[in-house]
Structure 1
Amino acid sequence: MEIDSKVVELTELAYTIPSRRLAQLLAEWAAADRVLESRLLAYAAAADQGSDGSEPAGRDWRL
Structure 2
Amino acid sequence: TLSAALAGQRYLVDPIANGSAADLRARFAEVLEVIVEAMATPLWIQNFRTEGWREQARLDDLGLGA
- TM-score, normalising length: structure 1: 0.34
**Computing the radius of gyration over CA atoms, which structure comes out larger, 1 or 2?**
2
Larger RCO, structures 1/2 (Cα 8 Å, 6+ apart):
2
Q: Hey, which of these two has a bigger chunk of helix by percent?
A: 2
- TM-score, normalising length: structure 2: 0.33
